[in-house]
Structure 1
Amino acid sequence: MSTPQSSSPGLPSSEPLPGGPAVSGILMRATNVTSVYAADSGQDVPAVDNVTVEVPEGKILGLAGESGCGKTTLGSTLAMIANPPLYVVAGRMEIDGQEIDLSTLSKSSNQRHRPYRGATVSLLPQGAMNAISPTLRIRDLVVDVMRAHNRSTTKAEALDRASDRLKMLEMPTRVLDSYAHQLSGGMKQRMVTVISTLLNPALLIADEPTSALDVSSQKALIEMLLAMVEARIMRGVIFITHDLPVLSMVTDRLAIMYAGKIVEAGPTEELVHNARHPYTSALLSSVLDPTQETRTKHVFGIPGSPPNLANPPSGCRFHPRCKFAMPECSVKEPEYLHERDHSVACWWANEHAFETVPMEVNQA
């Protein structure tokens, strides 16, 4: 058994990074991303704090964590749509052979990122109810989106592509003649999915894409995303959701986020059955899986509350809620420990190499 190694989040390319292994075939790598919200008090609140993450080619990365941990902010930053009061302070992204300085997103006069939005990276937003213009028919919006990136696209070509996407989601093509107010919440969510994938983006960032859907619609949307990745229509997905059972069925890799930082990342199967961070273990213990053991499984809430990001705890940010906290946890921020392609930032994990966090930690 090899000895685990530690290093800082800003790792050289020869080291594995949270979210994926640093090997050839990486679609997107974002390093040292920091995004803040400008507050009325004058103090910037870091919602994403020095995060490094990557998505392997042809894979789906799941991003999970409690509300307010920074998942949506990270998604907006990587999709290059950060708008005030959100500002990107630092970070670089390599994607599809391009290198992008994310810190220039906050310069209002900077338009260099426009060609990448929707075509290289596309965001499937969480707020489907407000994402579609109420003054345009869906068909007109589809044509506008396609022509914004390629003026030579014909109306017929744009509508044909939208019709194909609708069929994949088991929706009738007549919805193209509708206005947003004529669609149910679930249909709006699926329509936003269609619009977000029209340009065949290299990377799709899907923020809570199944939250407004019934079970059958969830299944259709997930199957569409999987089929598009398999067919190379999209070459990677970041799937953001609170629904860990969905992530365990859909994703290849998981990244667990807490208080603006990624605390653990690795292959989905590995994290689900071999959680190395107490927060990951607690998160898994707080939800029901649709398995044969569901009726006998005990669900445990995570004690305490997430920290105020304007004044986070020193050291490991989870230590005030962690039943395995040690003296150093409140003093020094843990560095990333790499065990094969599994990464974790935890002092307990450093002292218990390759050990799974005991589930009883969540039952005391």
Structure 2
Amino acid sequence: MGKVMLEVKDLKTKYITRHGEDVYAVDGVSLKIEEGKSLGIAGESGCGKSTLALSLMGYYFAPLYYQSGSIIVDGINITKMNPDDVRKKILGNEIAYIPQAAMNALNPTQKIIKFIEDVIHAHNPKATKKDIYDLAKERFEILGLPESVLQKHAVELSGGMKQRTVIAISTILSPKVLIADEPSSALDVTSQKMVIKMMRNLMEKGFIKSMIFITHELPLLYNVTDDIVVMYAGQLIEEGKSKEMVFDPIHPYSKGLMGS
């Protein structure tokens, strides 16, 4: 058994409606990811996948609230930490997040290199512009992105290029765990292939140690992840190796989902 990079124990998070009702979008979720492994999360819209991703990052903003359970990243229980300390010490360095519609996360008024400077200065205020540029240039070239992208604005990039740029920026600090929430959605097949290749390179070259991959594109999970878990109504109802889950699921819901 390899080193555990992320362990989640009985995590419960809820939304509080304007009428004061509790809606448990993540209801008793437990999972574990080892170093060098990738985990796919599948499920229909509204099952709690994105809420789980936000919860693992500690992004608790009303109406989403933490209820109970623990999130341990490389031995550090972040649920016991002050939110400001999580933002400064954990996010980006230990665990990183690629949100849905990530291509819209770039500031249209900033050049890509300025955006990267802001990200790195949030964690290392002493970093010089030259050091940041050299790091970004090296990382972009390794991941198949031309250096010229650094001097461009987001509006000058195609959708696929913006998506790959956001992935490169999200992993610029080499986090131990990467959570990718539908990173290939809204892209054509060719762009999807390039995004998947890029994420594989991140794992192979050691820029990230483990990955959670959330998507509706079930064939992608079979080709990208080692294991798959199926989520329904805030709970994980089945888990197994990717090949088993795609071709021979056991739970009736898993069968219906894979058959769809």
- Normalised to the residue count of structure 2, the TM-score between the two structures is 0.93
- Which residue in the other structure is 1:95 paired with? 73
Matched, 1:52 2:66: no
Question: 2:9, 2:71 within 8 Å by CA — same for their partners in 1?
Answer: yes
Which structure carries more relative contact order (alpha carbon 8 Å, separation 6+)?
2
Unpaired runs of 5+ residues, structure 1, are 1-22, 287-364
- Which residue in the other structure is 2:21 paired with? 43
Matched, 1:262 2:240: no
**Following the alignment from structure 2 to structure 1, what is the Cα–Cα distance between the partners of residues 66 and 105?**
23
**Residue 218 (structure 1) aligned to one of 192, 217, 221:** 192
**Structure 2 CA distance for partners of 1:95 and 1:144, relative to 1, 3 Å:** same
Shift of 1:129: 4.1
**Residue 167 (structure 1) aligned to one of 141, 144, 150:** 141
- Which residue in the other structure is 1:192 paired with? 166
**Residue 84 (structure 2) aligned to one of 111, 123, 133:** 111
Shift of 1:142: 0.6
Matched, 1:146 2:143: no
* Moved beyond 6 Å, runs of 4+: none
Shift of 1:135: 2.8
**Following the alignment from structure 1 to structure 2, what is the Cα–Cα distance between the partners of residues 129 and 24?**
34
Question: 2:164, 2:198 within 8 Å by CA — same for their partners in 1?
Answer: no
Q: Which amino acid aligns with 1:28?
A: L
- What fraction of aligned residue pairs are identical, expressed as a percent? 43
**Following the alignment from structure 1 to structure 2, what is the Cα–Cα distance between the partners of residues 59 and 24?**
9
Question: 1:168, 1:220 within 8 Å by CA — same for their partners in 2?
Answer: no
Question: 2:163, 2:195 within 8 Å by CA — same for their partners in 1?
Answer: no
Which range moves more in the overlay, 176-185 or 44-53? 176-185
Matched, 1:279 2:257: no
Alignment of 1:236-247 (within 5 A): 236-247=210-221
Question: 1:121, 1:201 within 8 Å by CA — same for their partners in 2?
Answer: yes
Question: 1:37, 1:87 within 8 Å by CA — same for their partners in 2?
Answer: yes
**Structure 2 CA distance for partners of 1:284 and 1:266, relative to 1, 3 Å:** same
Question: 1:122, 1:201 within 8 Å by CA — same for their partners in 2?
Answer: yes
Q: Which amino acid aligns with 2:228?
A: L
More helix by share: 2
Shift of 1:90: 1.3
- Normalised to the residue count of structure 1, the TM-score between the two structures is 0.67
- Which residue in the other structure is 1:331 paired with? none
Which range moves more in the overlay, 55-64 or 87-96? 87-96
Unpaired runs of 5+ residues, structure 2, are none
Question: 1:169, 1:220 within 8 Å by CA — same for their partners in 2?
Answer: no
Question: 2:14, 2:22 within 8 Å by CA — same for their partners in 1?
Answer: yes
